[in-house]
Structure 1
């Protein structure tokens, strides 16, 4: 049986043909192999939730696309795979919404920046999606927010909690600064009025006593494992950051100049990408599904149970440009786009999972943890997670032994169920409970 019920048949441009050729042509009920679930109980837990009377599907189809990581081709190819756009030319941003695209809600699961080959092109392609009036929700990712905090700390006093935030971005942000320098500053008088190389180093790097004082500052905010992890990360990043800049052909003066240009592009009202952080949300709830970048902890679970998603998003907005960057980045709010459920992260216990379900949330849909065989369903303390970061960007794929850029999305629809499309898995994975509680295919 083919997957014609949800694989788009679009032939308007050769790019479409190349995208469709990489997609699965058939579907199968969501498999229970190790690459598709994290435990034998994961699918049965999903089934149990989704057949309860309190469970509800989104009212309109949801297209979830997460972690494009600055790969604009992968981003647009995945939107084509979902059937929400038609590409009408050979260039990026030459696309329009399909009939399905006009009725679907597109949720971008965060991490638009870093790693990939085309940060600015990705942003412009996302801006075009807004321009053609697509129903888009942009969620906060840890890479996106680290970039914002790195920019904010440049013009603030060097408090102990945030002075490391610029270098903490690490090597993955260097290509973005290279792009900005080449597109906006190259062949200009960019050096005029700029601090010296040594002064730029002092502005970008934490003070010499940071390693000695940070553990005392962070005590009470971070777990002991979290402090140790942060110190190890910073030892590596401080030692290598300047070398990564040099490998990209950039002096620290050039990095500083590019960073200041980014402040203008992203933070000023007139900036080309001012909309990016303005539109960003922390969470999106549709029916019994909660969309976010990473995951939850007990504090956020209690907040959602007592105050709801709207309150959490308002709190996120109020804290986004806060003067207390440390307090924000290591808070339960930020754990939502940072956690991988490690010992260093704020914990999610069965008590937190129970509180989330009390808030009407039965399934978390997120990115952050990349997969190599399409989407995966995981059970964490009796809370169902759909892990939907399917490794789209060509930079990560090359490093991880995968070919070309990735293509794929997660579709959630009350008629089709949950459909995992990925160019890295031979069939579309489909989860839809039957009338009597059995798993069925999407076309049955």
Structure 2
């Protein structure tokens, strides 16, 4: 299957054929239906603005895959569907780049961790892209940064703003600790010099007065809805965290030991995954498209307009190293990988959307929102969004009534437009406006 040719072709590789058989065999102009657009004006606005001289497409093709959530099979199948890699057999982490893969930009939209089936295999698959010297950008996702915040909270002086960040990771992080314990610690003297079970509990959980103090600590920083949401989340998570650990066969001492091992694996330059957070960026801009995990708010739009994407990424890295985890995780930078435009999130108003457009940002391309019918074009206060997360990992799909692992990739190219390719939608969605502002296309090979 050639890059951007969305009609599957028979290959001599049975594994590839099995993937292609799950993909659409035909295409259509991006449909104006509720599963593909969220607003009557969304598609027409996209068409209209893409005709303006100021609208710029990326110079190189961009392949966007988001939210693999610890499912390397789904991740690699999506790369194969895009024509970026090829595999000789069914073994993971052993693929090679195609000619197209060597010339395209690959943007991984974040949330590589949690859910399953294997965090470590997913990380090793992603590491293989770096070994192949692919042109890859790794964006920060909320699940990824939640792990970092939890690990950092174990070494820093904590207050009401950050002492809950470990347990806040919740049950979805426990499989990672189980994997780490089994692969790195199980056959060692892992408990030598370790604190007692009760001491481990005190190190991992927020203090008894956290629920009383947090609303006052966060007042004026979080919205009232945001504070209420945090209290509600933490009430549930503190009550269930230890039980979820036990369900996975882990004591709190073993969780603590696995967390300390994760600190070595992820936070030390020499750790197997020491590259993961070092490589991470907050945003990437190509042409009029801004790639990120979740979305913008007014303050972030102003930062991008008054400074630059490079400045935003530097600020992101600098804040990761700051001592105040609270101000980072609940601030505007982190809102970029956390927002779902709820009342609890920092707002994107018409003003912020206008500022973003004035900064040359016409389209946001992001994941973070589960999709069951492929990609979607949305309009939020006049700012175009392409929602690209089509729910890839096996565990989420099973819980949401979808079969197997997901396959989904969003392809953006100045010659071919935007192609939304998903195993969850019967046709490839193609956005390729002509000079009259109409969606066009004939044979998919021409797209």
TM-score with structure 2 length normalisation? 0.97
1:182 equivalent in structure 2: 182
Shift of 1:50: 0.5
1:327 equivalent in structure 2: 327
Aligned-pair Cα RMSD in Å: 1.3
2:141 equivalent in structure 1: 141
Contact 1:12 1:86 in 2 (8 A): no
Shift of 1:159: 1.4
Contact 1:289 1:365 in 2 (8 A): yes
CA distance in 1, matches of 2:221, 2:396: 32
Contact 1:364 1:385 in 2 (8 A): yes
CA distance in 2, matches of 1:305, 1:195: 49
Shift of 1:321: 2.0
1:222 equivalent in structure 2: 222
CA distance in 2, matches of 1:100, 1:94: 18
1:438 equivalent in structure 2: 438
Deviation digits for residues 174-223 of structure 1 (CA, Å, limit 9, x no counterpart): 11111101110111111111111111110000000000000000011100
**SS of the counterpart of 2:31?**
coil
Contact 2:295 2:364 in 1 (8 A): yes
CA distance in 1, matches of 2:7, 2:117: 27
Q: Does 1:47 align with 2:47?
A: yes
CA distance in 2, matches of 1:90, 1:141: 28
1:421 equivalent in structure 2: 421
**SS of the counterpart of 2:136?**
strand
**SS of the counterpart of 1:317?**
helix
Note the 1:268-283 alignment, pairs <5 A: 268-283=268-283
Shift of 1:8: 5.6
1:208 equivalent in structure 2: 208
CA distance in 1, matches of 2:64, 2:326: 30
Shift of 1:133: 0.9
CA distance in 2, matches of 1:422, 1:377: 14
**SS of the counterpart of 2:20?**
helix
Note the 1:8-27 alignment, pairs <5 A: 9=9, 11-27=11-27
CA distance in 1, matches of 2:296, 2:135: 25
Deviation digits for residues 317-356 of structure 1 (CA, Å, limit 9, x no counterpart): 1011221000000111110000000001110000000000
**SS of the counterpart of 1:189?**
coil
Shift of 1:158: 2.1
Note the 1:220-369 alignment, pairs <5 A: 220-369=220-369
CA distance in 1, matches of 2:195, 2:81: 47
Shift of 1:5: 2.8
Q: Which runs of 5+ in 2 are unaligned?
A: none
CA distance in 2, matches of 1:216, 1:4: 53
Q: Does 1:403 align with 2:403?
A: yes
**SS of the counterpart of 1:389?**
coil
Contact 1:391 1:406 in 2 (8 A): yes
CA distance in 2, matches of 1:193, 1:92: 37
Contact 1:282 1:313 in 2 (8 A): yes
Alignment size in residue pairs? 443
**SS of the counterpart of 1:145?**
helix
**SS of the counterpart of 1:377?**
strand
TM-score with structure 1 length normalisation? 0.98
CA distance in 2, matches of 1:430, 1:324: 44
Shift of 1:90: 2.4
Contact 2:64 2:109 in 1 (8 A): yes
Moved over 6 A (4+): none
CA distance in 2, matches of 1:90, 1:430: 30
**SS of the counterpart of 1:440?**
coil
Shift of 1:359: 0.5
Contact 2:8 2:21 in 1 (8 A): no
Contact 2:6 2:27 in 1 (8 A): no
Note the 1:371-382 alignment, pairs <5 A: 371-382=371-382
**SS of the counterpart of 1:338?**
coil
Q: Does 1:393 align with 2:393?
A: yes
CA distance in 1, matches of 2:11, 2:273: 32
Contact 1:7 1:81 in 2 (8 A): no
**SS of the counterpart of 1:208?**
coil
CA distance in 2, matches of 1:395, 1:173: 14
CA distance in 1, matches of 2:366, 2:337: 9
Contact 1:8 1:83 in 2 (8 A): no
Contact 2:168 2:237 in 1 (8 A): yes
